[in-house]
Chains A and B, each alone.
Chain A
Amino acid sequence: MTNYKKKIDKLNLFGVKEVELTLDDVVYFDTAAAIFINSLREDFFQKNIKTNILTANKDIAETLNLVEKTKQKSQPLPKEIEKTYLEHIGIIFYNYYIGFLAFTLFLGEVFSAFFSYFTSIKNIRFKEIFFEMNESAIKALGIIALTSFLIGLVIAYQSAYQLKIYGANIFIVDMLGISIFRELAPLMTAIVIAGRSGSAFTAQIGAMKITEELDAMKTMGFEPFIFLVLPRIIALMITMPILIFVADIMGIFGGIIVSYVDLGISVSLFIERLNEVVALKHFVIGLIKGPFFAFLIASIGIYRGLMVKNDTQSIGFNTTKSVVESIFAVIVCDALFSIIFTNLGI
């Protein structure tokens, strides 16, 4: 059709008053062809050229008629309004702002649910909490043990090489003790949990939202905050310090192996030195961070789940967001802790 159009455009129509279109040889004629002829006629009409269509075929005439009638009735398609760069940027930041407000609202609801939750023991869903503890934390023990063991191994191996140069072999214990207890174990645990359980929260709750299960719960008077949100948050807050403790042990275990093989520090010497130089406070600080990280991971995961809209794409989008945002939030929180503890002199 475009070929025809090009040929027609090339014709010199100067002085032509009348055009005849003969459609007798046409074998196949669909509405697209009819629309083409229709617009051709309009073109000619604007150039003051009269068009006559010659056809003996009734179907073609009818199709043409139909196209013309519909065209008279139909309105032009609305044009998409192009946005400027500024508008795009504005929309992005406005959405961030709205998202921030929504998250604040969510946190408020979590806290108010917390208070009504603990007004009576009957409210507390022990069954759900234990189920979530098993699901999102106990089942993660293996992977957390393995990652922190490897982290301990790698850190020890790298620093052993440097320490050997100075002959300061024994200081590996100080270094490992403080860095693992204080920073590495809590952070590694939080990151693994954010990737593993936070994303699971988002996907579970998002799917429940799509299938209207959340609405069904609400109409039956089961407050989703009490049945879904708080059990997950509480379960994670309880189990996080336990997971960090496991990560501590496994990290140090990795360090012990490298120290023995590479630096010739015996296991008993390592543990003796650990007792001497690493104060209890480092270990306690690591554990204290646990519930805070857990709260951030669980609440962001669940919030993202609740933000899922009625399409399947938004589950993927929100799951990604949930993992990225919770890891980011954990690291920001860790930085805040560093500043606070340093200023307090701990």
Chain B
Amino acid sequence: MMQSLIKLRDVRTVFGTKVVHDGLNLTVNKGEIYGLVGPSGCGKTTVLREMVMLQDISGGSIEVLGHNLVNISKRDAQKLRSEWGVLFQAGALFSSLNIKENISLPLKEYTDLSEKMIDEIVKFKIAIVGLKSSDALLYPSQISGGMKKKSALARALAMDPKLLFLDEPTSGLDPISAREFDALILKLRDLLDLSIVMVSHDLQSIYATLDRVAIIDEKKIIYEGDLKDIKNSTNKFIQTFFRRDFEQ
């Protein structure tokens, strides 16, 4: 039986008087690349933020790696944070640190590895995401968008997480870099045995990478499962979003 890493049950999110989610259920299994798709404003990124404890929920429960996030203790929360990596939409590299320092920061804070060992790890992470070692001393303001994403990915991978969250990993990249990024994500999943949750708008990236997809519309999950079966759905959003692509 497949092991589930993330379970959302009846999640409800309210901003002021606006109900964003009501009765949202989804399950992410081990080893899969799971996508959150939906029209803009449906709260995909909000779901992602709820999973990584940046946003409180108004009702229901979220379980990540066996911890219930609603009543998690400070210590467990801290432990959980070292077991996942998050890639933000714009990278969110620390602007006062260079690439090398950005990647090595969690290693310096959470481990007692030697300076030399940390350098080796940083070198490996830089290579695995496809950056050049010679870029290591550049600051975030000096590098391109694609490089920022790669560096942020390297930082997210620094602690060898089991679980990786990606918020629109290919947005803002040119098509070639975007396809490279897709290939990179697939490669990393196989190499490092990752489970990945990502929010995406990019159809090509969705078809190239995702194993399973959840489609959020009208405050709920309207579809969860394989991409192959999705064209049979009668929902309006799914039809316009996915069918058009089949016709072309």
Contact = CB atoms under 8 A, between A and B. Distances in A.
Interface of A: 207-208, 211-213, 215-222
A222 B109 contact: yes
Interface string B35-54: 00000000000000100111
B90 to A, nearest CB: 6
A216 B109 contact: no
B81 A212 contact: no
B90 A219 contact: no
B53 A211 contact: no
Majority SS at the chain B contact face = mixed
Nearest to A221: B81
B94 A212 contact: no
Contacts of A208: 95
A219 B95 contact: no
Interface in B51-80: 52-54, 77-78
B25 interface: no
Majority SS at the chain A contact face = helix
Given A211-B92, A211-B95, A212-B90, A219 B84 contact: yes
A219 B77 CA distance: 10
Contact of B78 (A215, A216, A221): A221
A213 B92 CA distance: 5
B92 A215 contact: yes
B29 interface: no
B82 interface: yes
6 contacts: A211-B92, A212-B89, A219-B53, A219-B84, A221-B77, A221-B110
B41 to A, nearest CB: 15
Given A221-B81, A221-B82, A222-B109, A216 B94 contact: yes
B223 interface: no
Contacts, number: 48
B139 interface: no
Interface string B99-123: 0000001100110000000000000
B53 A218 contact: yes
A216 B81 contact: no
Contacts of B92: 211-213, 215-216
Contacts of A221: 77-78, 81-82, 106, 110
Interface of B: 49, 52-54, 77-78, 81-82, 84, 86, 88-90, 92-95, 105-106, 109-110, 152, 165
Contacts of A215: 49, 54, 86, 88, 92
Nearest to A208: B95
A220 B92 CA distance: 12
A216 B152 CA distance: 10
B111 to A, nearest CB: 13
B168 to A, nearest CB: 12
Given A211-B90, A219-B81, A220-B82, 6 more contacts: A211-B92, A211-B95, A212-B90, A219-B53, A220-B81, A222-B109
Contacts of B84: 219
A215 B88 CA distance: 9
Nearest to B82: A221
A221 B95 CA distance: 18
For the complex of A and B, the 9 pairs showing the least CB-CB separation, nearest first, are: A221-B81, A212-B92, A216-B92, A219-B86, A212-B88, A219-B52, A221-B78, A213-B92, A215-B54
A208 B97 CA distance: 13
B106 A216 contact: no
A76 B165 CA distance: 41
B88 to A, nearest CB: 5
Contact of B54 (A207, A213, A218, A222): A218
Contacts of A219: 52-54, 81, 84, 86, 165
Nearest to A220: B106
Contacts of A220: 81-82, 86, 105-106
